Amino acid sequence: MTGDGSQELLDPEAEVERLIDALSRGRSDVLPRGGIPPADDAALDLARSEARAAAEGAGRGDALSRAQRMMAEWTLERYRREGFDAAYLSGWLDSPERRLEVVDLMVDAATAVALADLLTDDTRATLMARFDGLHGELEAD
């Protein structure tokens, strides 16, 4: 909040950068090695639609798209670093479909963080549920 009582607007890209920094500092194993929590596809689709509509309505649609792309690229880079090293050492490497599922999970979390000031608690919780199931609640500050 700002001093005059109005709500400070979040910059989606800056918020996702903070999340990426927190993940990079806090963990060396950001990518899941076990099962990914199941998704409620209908609830996720609705939450994604609501988030996109909120971003567009607030004039932050383009910034959200850039923030989501930033998270997707960062996740794929982590696969290049973690995944291929792990495959070399242990034979582990996710299938392409699983890697895309992880990218979706990370992009959903980035969306929730980027639009925290616009989303309802339910929408944010739906977008964060699988991320929180893997990482617990992570503070991006």
Measure CA of the first residue to CA of the last residue in the chain; give whole Å: 16
Residue given tokens 């806090």 in the structure block: 26
51 found inside a domain = yes
Is the pTM value of this prediction over 0.75?
A: yes
124: containing domain: 40-135
Residue given tokens 């383009």 in the structure block: 62
| Predicted confidence band of residue 138 (pLDDT cuts 50, 70, 90) | low
56 found inside a domain = yes
Higher-pLDDT residue of 71 and 1 is: 71
Q: In this predicted model, what pLDDT tens digit does every residue of 27-45 receive, in sequence order?
A: 666 777 667 778 899 999 9
99 found inside a domain = yes
25 found inside a domain = no
Asked whether 119 and 141 are in contact (CB, 8 A), the reply is no
85 found inside a domain = yes
Higher-pLDDT residue of 99 and 67 is: 67
What is the tally of structural domains in the chain? Answer: 1
Q: What phi-psi label fits residue 136: left (phi over 0), alpha (psi between -120 and 50 degrees) or beta?
A: left
The predicted model gives 15-32 an average pLDDT of: 82
- Predicted pLDDT at 133: 83
7 found inside a domain = no
Report the C-alpha gap between 75 and 87 in whole angstroms. Answer: 16
11 found inside a domain = no
Name the percent of the chain lying above pLDDT 70.
77
14 found inside a domain = no
- Predicted pLDDT at 1: 34
Q: In this predicted model, what pLDDT tens digit does every residue of 57-89 receive, in sequence order?
A: 999 999 999 999 999 999 888 887 765 555 444
Residue 29 tokens read as 């194993």
Asked whether 68 and 111 are in contact (CB, 8 A), the reply is yes
